[in-house]
């Protein structure tokens, strides 16, 4: 079926439109210039409205459930969600917001963020969001490039049992981004702006039919190598990709209940909310996944009847380390699918999920990115799951693994690429009129082929894929390319190690492998533990994977979506300033990597 979906892409995508019952007119032509990549234009005559498609199940009793750390729960039916969306859209209209304008949100993962997005999309305006843990500089780096008219913001947010007041930060951003005409407050000392809007006279929601490639979202690259790239995604491409992935790859059904642990600053929030278009309820959670106890998210499965439960790979490794065994403490009767993304899921985490969660659930590791607001490789509910592997390529996505000459390879490590165009290809980058940055990001490596930047392997025996890390973080000792994920998979099996980061250090005309580890509080990184780490890597990987140095650090720097910031560490150990540390959730952790005497010999 995948081969057919590639050989007959126009027919495949037209059938996806029909099968998922997208509301709108698909038009007569499915694609113009399908051989151009970039440059193909999908559904050039189509008209639709993204918000209308997410709000169409008006008789379903549950659309959104929102829970915070205190346990407070709010819920909305599809009809209530549509009504609140219409009121908010009316408010934006009165603020002068129309098609093509941008609305920004600096909000936690709460129902108001979904209402804000749907109200924005219903007008044909463009939505962008960042989470409240972002600093002022990080927010200005993003919003300063895209010039939003309206900002949705919170006065404060809560995390890990603490409250953080960011009102002054919001005011600083408003001053630094002069395009912001007004701020809609989630909370205020007086009655909040959102409540006042929702008290306004309701009116029927007006969803103008817009072109397939009308802009819907602006998402951002992580910003760890410079100022974040502002990536513009279209309404039609985002919708049809998400519906395909949800209904065909996740087997999402009307009446299901979907959860993914995410913030509003990660593309998984956009991906999660699109589940409304399949008639599924979406569960939102705001706060720490481990407060007030490590099983906080697991409780949601039973209390909300969650059928699809997702989180980053780091989450599953963390609850395994905590010794959680949900199969012994929870019912889990509703659970059908477990999703993992953000970084490669280790083989041990695969075993843990089947041993300690639910043996008959589908565990789907998925991988794609902000760049395509969807996946290149992901789950398949009709085929087996092999530990350590992503099950297969996305339908309609001409995914391949290639060598340096762009030749297909199996059972060997190479570059993950996509050879043909797909509907959710970004429309453009902001402030990139000649598409130079856009083409440079994906198409400079190989002619007419998207190079995704993942170091990957396709397993011929199973058809599965293994992500070995980011290409720009690949280690190269002795000229042999090594993915960092291969080392992490081994280190994470050692109980004393809490976290780790591996980078290459330029050394005597070559590269040597340096491993930094965070150990358990009562553990010392002594010679015995170092020897055990090296032996585990040597026995289960290769001698070339064995680090030259193993050093202890208090923390590992990560981006706000939980990805290890290997490039930042590599810069610091070489005496270079890490670029744009505002993109990191814990930039102070980099101090521990600077000027290390152990790296001078």
pLDDT-based confidence at residue 590 (cuts at 50, 70, 90): very high
Backbone angles phi, psi at 328, to 5 degrees: -95, -20
- Mean pLDDT, rounded, for 173-199: 84
pLDDT of residue 378: 98
Residues 6 or more apart in contact with residue 411 via CB below 8 angstroms = 457, 458, 459, 460
Burial 124-137, CB ≥16 within 10 A → b, else e: bbbbbbbbbebbbb
pLDDT of residue 235: 98
| Long-range contact set of residues 470-477: C-beta below 8 Å, sequence gap at least 24 | 470/566, 471/415, 472/225, 472/567, 473/503, 473/566, 473/567, 473/570, 475/502, 475/503, 475/504, 475/511, 475/513, 476/504, 476/511, 477/504, 477/510, 477/511, 477/512, 477/513, 477/544
Burial class (CB in 10 A: 0-12, 13-18, 19+), 526: exposed
Residues 6 or more apart in contact with residue 14 via CB below 8 angstroms = 26, 30
Q: What is the 3-state secondary structure (H, E, C) of 445-511?
A: CECCEEEEEEEEEECCCCCCEEEEEEHHHCECHHHCCECHHHHHHHHCCCCCEEEEEEEEEEECCEE
What would the pLDDT profile of 438-471 be if each residue is shown by its tens digit? 999 999 999 999 999 999 999 999 999 999 888 8
pLDDT-based confidence at residue 60 (cuts at 50, 70, 90): very high
| Residues 219 and 270 sit within 8 Å (Cβ to Cβ) | yes
Question: Which of 262, 310, 306 is closest to 285 using CA atoms?
Answer: 262
What would the pLDDT profile of 403-440 be if each residue is shown by its tens digit? 999 999 999 999 999 999 999 999 999 999 999 999 99
- Mean pLDDT, rounded, for 512-528: 94
Among 195-199, 252-256, 339-343, 566-570, which is the least confidently predicted range? Answer: 195-199
* pTM of the predicted model as reported, rounded to 2 decimal places: 0.89
The dihedral formed by the CA atoms of 426, 428, 434 and 437, expressed in degrees to the nearest 10: -70
pLDDT-based confidence at residue 319 (cuts at 50, 70, 90): very high
- Mean pLDDT, rounded, for 311-329: 94
Please tell me what DSSP assigns to residue 110: S
Q: Cis bond leading into 292, ω under 30°?
A: yes
pLDDT of residue 393: 98
Q: Where are the alpha helices (DSSP H) in 280-341?
A: 296-304, 313-321, 326-329
Domain boundaries, the chain: 289-365, 474-600
536: tokens are 């585990």
Question: Which of 222, 220, 239 is closest to 230 using CA atoms?
Answer: 220
Query: Above pLDDT 90, what percent of the chain?
Result: 82
pLDDT of residue 511: 86
pLDDT at 98 over 80: yes
369: tokens are 């990115």
Give CA–CA dist 374/388, Å, rounded. Answer: 21
What would the pLDDT profile of 324-342 be if each residue is shown by its tens digit? 999 999 999 999 999 999 8
Q: Pick 474-600's CATH classification: 3.30.70.20, 3.40.50.10090, 3.30.300.30, 3.30.70.100.
A: 3.30.300.30
| Mode of pairing for the β-strands spanning 497-507 and 465-470 | unpaired
Residue 227 has, within 13 A of its CA and on its CB side, a CA count of 14
| Long-range contact set of residues 496-500: C-beta below 8 Å, sequence gap at least 24 | 496/520, 496/523, 496/529, 497/533, 498/321, 499/555, 499/556, 500/556
What would the pLDDT profile of 230-272 be if each residue is shown by its tens digit? 999 999 999 999 999 999 999 999 999 999 999 999 999 999 9
Residue 441: which H helix or E strand, with range?
helix 436-442
- Mean pLDDT, rounded, for 202-222: 90
| Residues 315 and 261 sit within 8 Å (Cβ to Cβ) | yes
The per-residue pLDDT of the chain, averaged, comes to: 93
| Residues 180 and 150 sit within 8 Å (Cβ to Cβ) | yes
- Mean pLDDT, rounded, for 199-208: 78
Give CA–CA dist 147/200, Å, rounded. Answer: 27
CATH fold, domain 289-365, is Rossmann fold (3.40.50)
Give CA–CA dist 128/105, Å, rounded. Answer: 6
pLDDT of residue 125: 98
pLDDT of residue 510: 81
599: tokens are 């790296």
Give CA–CA dist 209/26, Å, rounded. Answer: 11
Give residue 184's region: left, alpha or beta (phi > 0; psi -120 to 50).
Answer: beta
- Mean pLDDT, rounded, for 50-63: 96
pLDDT at 191 over 60: no
What would the pLDDT profile of 137-146 be if each residue is shown by its tens digit? 889 999 999 9
**DSSP labels for 518-585?**
EE-TT----HHHHHHHHHHHHHHS-GGGS-SEEEE-S---BBTTS-B-HHHHHHHHTTPPPS-GGGBS
Residues 6 or more apart in contact with residue 440 via CB below 8 angstroms = none
Question: Which of 481, 536, 548, 480 is closest to 508 using CA atoms?
Answer: 548
| Residues 125 and 142 sit within 8 Å (Cβ to Cβ) | no
pLDDT-based confidence at residue 226 (cuts at 50, 70, 90): low
pLDDT-based confidence at residue 196 (cuts at 50, 70, 90): confident
pLDDT of residue 82: 95
- Mean pLDDT, rounded, for 180-196: 80
245: tokens are 């992935």
Taking CA atoms, 85 is separated from 24, 51, 55, 224, in Å, by 19, 9, 9, 35
pLDDT of residue 417: 98
pLDDT of residue 200: 73
Question: Which of 496, 586, 587 is closest to 550 using CA atoms?
Answer: 496
The count of residues in the chain is: 601
What would the pLDDT profile of 3-28 be if each residue is shown by its tens digit? 999 999 999 999 999 999 999 999 99
């Amino acid at each position: 079926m995948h081969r057919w979906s590639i050989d007959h892409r126009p027919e495949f995508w037209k059938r996806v439109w029909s099968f998922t019952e997208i509301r709108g007119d698909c038009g007569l032509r499915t694609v113009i210039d399908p051989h151009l990549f970039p440059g193909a234009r999908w559904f050039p005559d189509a008209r639709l409205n993204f918000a209308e498609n997410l709000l169409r199940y008006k008789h379903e009793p549950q659309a959104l459930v929102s829970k915070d750390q205190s346990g407070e729960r709010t819920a909305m039916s599809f009809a209530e969600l549509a009504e609140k969306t219409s009121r908010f859209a009316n408010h934006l209209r009165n603020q002068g917001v129309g098609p093509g304008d941008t609305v920004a949100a600096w909000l936690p993962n709460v129902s108001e963020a979904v209402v804000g997005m749907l109200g924005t999309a219903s007008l044909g305006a463009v939505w962008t969001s960042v989470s409240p843990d972002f600093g002022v500089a990080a927010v200005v780096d993003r919003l300063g490039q895209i010039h939003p008219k309206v900002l949705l913001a919170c006065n404060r947010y809560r995390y890990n049992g603490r409250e953080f007041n960011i009102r002054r930060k919001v005011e600083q951003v408003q001053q630094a981004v002069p395009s912001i005409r007004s701020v809609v407050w989630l909370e205020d000392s007086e009655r909040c702006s959102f409540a006042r809007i929702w008290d306004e006279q309701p009116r029927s929601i007006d969803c103008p039919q817009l072109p397939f490639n009308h802009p819907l979202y602006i998402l951002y690259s992580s910003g760890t190598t410079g100022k974040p790239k502002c990536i513009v995604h279209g309404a039609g491409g985002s919708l049809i990709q998400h519906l395909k992935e949800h209904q065909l790859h996740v087997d999402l059904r009307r009446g299901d209940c979907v959860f993914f642990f995410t913030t509003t600053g990660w593309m998984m929030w956009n991906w999660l909310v699109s589940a409304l278009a399949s008639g599924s309820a979406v569960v939102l959670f705001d706060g720490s996944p481990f407060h007030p106890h490590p099983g906080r998210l697991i409780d949601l499965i039973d209390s909300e009847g969650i059928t699809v439960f997702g989180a980053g790979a780091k989450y599953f490794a963390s609850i395994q380390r905590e010794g959680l065994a949900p199969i012994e403490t929870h019912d889990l009767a509703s659970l059908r699918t477990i999703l993992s993304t953000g970084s490669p899921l280790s083989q041990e985490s695969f075993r843990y999920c089947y041993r300690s969660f639910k043996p008959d659930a589908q565990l789907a590791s998925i991988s794609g990115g902000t760049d395509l607001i969807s996946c290149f490789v992901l789950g398949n509910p009709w085929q087996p799951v092999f530990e350590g592997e992503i099950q297969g390529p996305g339908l309609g996505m001409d995914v391949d693994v290639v060598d340096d000459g762009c030749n297909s390879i199996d059972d060997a490590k190479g570059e993950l690429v996509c050879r043909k165009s797909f509907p959710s290809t970004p429309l453009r980058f902001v402030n990139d009129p000649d598409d130079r940055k856009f083409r440079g990001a994906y198409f400079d490596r190989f002619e007419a082929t998207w190079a995704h930047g993942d170091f990957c392997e396709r397993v011929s025996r199973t058809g599965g894929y293994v992500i070995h890390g980011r290409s720009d973080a690949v280690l190269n000792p002795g000229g042999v390319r090594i993915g960092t994920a291969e080392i992490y998979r081994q280190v994470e099996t050692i109980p004393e190690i809490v976290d780790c980061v591996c980078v290459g250090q330029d050394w005597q005309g070559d590269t040597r492998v340096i491993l930094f580890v965070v150990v358990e509080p009562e553990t010392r990184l002594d010679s015995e533990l170092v020897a055990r780490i090296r032996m585990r890597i040597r026995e289960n990987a290769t001698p070339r994977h064995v680090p030259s140095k193993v050093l202890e650090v208090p923390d590992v720097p990560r981006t706000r979506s939980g990805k290890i910031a290997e490039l930042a560490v590599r810069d610091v150990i070489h005496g270079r300033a890490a670029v744009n540390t505002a993109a990191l959730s814990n930039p102070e952790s980099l101090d521990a990597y600077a000027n290390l005497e152990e790296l001078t010999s």
